Every structure is written in structure tokens, then in C-alpha cells.
Amino acid sequence: MNKDDLARILATGEGVNIEFKRCGNRPEGDTFETICSFANHSGGSIFLGIEDDATVSGLSHGSPIDIQRNISNVVNDPNQFRPPVALEFEAIEYDDKEILRTWVPYDSEVHRFKNEIYDRCADADIKLRTDSQIANLYLRKQSTFTENKRYRFITEDDLELELLNEVRRRANAKHPDHPWLGMSDEELLRSANLYVKDYETGEQGFNLAAVLLLGKEQVIRSVLPAYKTDAILRVENTDRYDDRLEVKTNLIHAYPLLEEFCKKNMQDRFFLDKGQAVSPRDVIIRELISNTLIHREYTSPYPAKILITDASISTENGSRPSFEGPINLREFNPMPKNPIIGSFFNAIGWADELGSGAKNLLKFAEAYSDQAPLLIEGSVFKASVALKSDPKASIINPQISKMVAELINTQGYVTTVDIRDGIGLDHKAAQRELNRLAEKGILKAIGRTRGRRYILNDN
């Protein structure tokens, strides 16, 4: 989150998904009431170091790490939280003051703090006291998410628990000192809400999310016979396919397999985002694959598809829609489909928080092809991103994009000679690539042919 994003939140104030908390060296008890209410309602962000009136008071210098550790300890303490909540933290500097943002994902569990259930109403945390209030919350949770269906006879032997070491590595790469690093396998599974207890019946067990994320292939096939993701390349052989990948493995295996297939069959393009070289192709692939794997109704017999043609990359998957029709990404307010899986992907860096992915897809699809993506909600969710762009778009290898970005960052400009000598291109080829970027409006040419320099176009 950058300063402009925080400034907009401060101007808007508290609401159903936003809470400001004054904080000293330790979070107050009402912080945990808000964590509980957010997890039970629709998720949200708690900003520690901001007063109720949106005045930024900040935290004590160097205290965000201690506060983060304290919060993690409390939400993973079974004597205080049942079940635990998987949180994400972000330290923010604003007007020379430190703030800690705590993001609480919505999930399919009903959470208790000190044996009390809290829900969110407008900008207030409400303690549920009556049987009907609690029953309605359970109904709201259980009727929404099939990922939380429990399987009494699934055991650890049915899961690929050796994958948890890779999970910890990825979680630590995204957030150093992630709480999962210090947990046993059993503790991690409980913390991630993959092994859960129904507090109405006392029944415990692994849920469908655990089977999908970590299950062995034969177990997934038994639980979900129709499960698969079909990736197809159809460019020259339009009657059948040029390349194909059928994925029936768990999601931890599936994501990198699908990512590799798409990267292999899509050209990359050069794009500078705030002076840094970014791959629009990689961002588009990440968002489409994570959306297909996270926001999917797995009980639907409709197989998921990823299709790459010379004109577009598109996805289809079964869905449980809250409405039907095209999605306006500039006004989109997403609802979670599988929050346990979504939270797990977020923790290991394969997805951002709910809503950010749609913004990324819009931004980088337009950077890639000058066209907005098309998303249609329905019983089958469809997404499509155009791959053809205007003739001035530069298709350029990663070496050149990296060198252009580095030279602009270090010396403020780049020349044809820099690219020619640095990459080993023919002089005219290097000049042609830089001219394309100038025609596209990414770079701006300064001076005549001899001694011409290219700088970042800020317009």
C-alpha cells in the first residue's frame, strides 16, 4: 500500500472493512475483537497508529515488529482465539510516522475471541448474544463455502505434507519471520484452517481446501472425480491444438505447471512501471491462474480451461455467482469464493488480497495490448485478455528491458550504444527497439541521431 492509497482511506474514514486503532507498545483488547468481527463478516484492514478521527499518531519507533509478534501469538493461542485467523501485516511510513496495517481475510469459519463471537455492523464490532444471531452467522458461513466441507476419514497420509517445507519457504520469502516458520506441520494446518473443528457438533477433520491444496492425486480424484484444469494452445492447428496440458494434481503442484505452460506459449512485452521493468505477461498469467484456482466452485462438474490463441488468453471455470453479467473492473467489489484457499495463496505470494488482483489485471492487460480484459460472471466464470496490440508495441527480450530500466534508474537516460554494446545487438536493431519505445510513449528521445538519448516519458 502506498501513501496515496492510505490518504484515500484516511479521507474516507472507518467502515465495515476499515478500522483505525490507537496503539502504544501493545495492541489493546478491542483490536482482537475487530480481528474476530472482520474474520466473521467480510474481512478488512486494521490500521494501528491512527486515531478514530483519522489523525495519524504513529507507533513507537521500532515497535511494529513487536506488535506484529504479539498479535500473531494471540490469534494462534487456542485459549484466546478459536479457530486461529491467518493474518497479513504491512508496515507503512506516513508523514515520518510508523503505522502497522493488519489485513484480516474473510474465511468460512466462525471465530471466537475469549469465547465470544463478534460480527461487524457499519464501523462497529458487535458481540452476538442470541442463539438466532449465532445461527444466522453459521448459516451464512456454511452455505457459502464448499471448501470447508469436512472429511472425517481423510488423514495426514492422504496429503503431501512434504510440500509444507516449500510452503514455509515461499511464505518467508514474502514476509520474513512468517508465523508458519515456527510451527509444526499440525500447527500450520490448523493455523491455515485446513484442519478444523465444528464447534456445534464437535466434529474435527481435514476439509476440502486441505485436499485441494495438498491432497495426493488419487485422493482428489476420489473426492472430486470431475476435477481438472485443461490448458490448451490453439494457434496453427485450430481444429485441435498445438500444445496441451491436463492438470489433475493438487493446487500447490498445479499453479507452477500452469504458469510454465502459459509463459512458454506467450510473448512478453516491455513495460516500465514507475521506472522499473515489469513483465505484463507474467502479471496477467499470475492473475488469471490464481483467479481460476481460487475463485472456483470445485463441486461443479464443469472442467476449468485455459485457452491461448493468437488473439487472446482466456479462462473458464465453474462458479457460484452472486450476480450474472459483465464485470466492470473499475467499480468491481469482489466477494470471496474460497477464502481459505485465497488466504493460503496470499500467504505464499501467489495472490494479493481480495480486489487487488482485478486492479492488476486491468492495469497490465492494457499495458500489454491496449485493451481492457473482459470478465463475465455466471455459473461459468469467463475471463479474456487480448494478446494482439498495436503495431508500435515493442516485443522485447528480458535482457533489453532490464538494461533499459537499470540505465534510466542509474544515469537517467539510455542510448543506442548502451543497448548495442550491453546486449550485443546490431546498431540498427538497438536503435529500432528504442525508437519503438519512444513511438509507444514509454521513452522520449532527446537530441539528434548522433548522441541521441532516451529518457523516461513522464507524460
pLDDT of residue 389: 54
pLDDT of residue 243: 95
List the Cα angle 433/436/442 in 5-degree steps: 110
pLDDT of residue 144: 63
pLDDT of residue 422: 84
> Within 10 A of 244 (CB to CB), how many other CB atoms are there?
12
- For 360, list phi and psi in degrees, rounded to 5: -65, -45
pTM over 0.75: no
pLDDT of residue 390: 46
Please state at what angle helix 163-174 crosses helix 251-264, rounded to 10 degrees. 70
Rounded Cα distance, 213 and 163, in Å: 10
User: What are the helix (H) ranges across 333-419?
Assistant: 339-347, 356-369, 398-411, 416-419
CB 293 within 8 A of CB 228: no
Block means of pLDDT (10 residues each) for the chain, 459 residues, are 84 90 86 94 90 90 85 91 87 89 82 94 92 84 77 93 96 90 94 83 87 97 93 91 96 97 88 75 94 89 92 90 72 74 93 76 86 85 81 53 78 88 82 78 78 78
CB 232 within 8 A of CB 305: yes
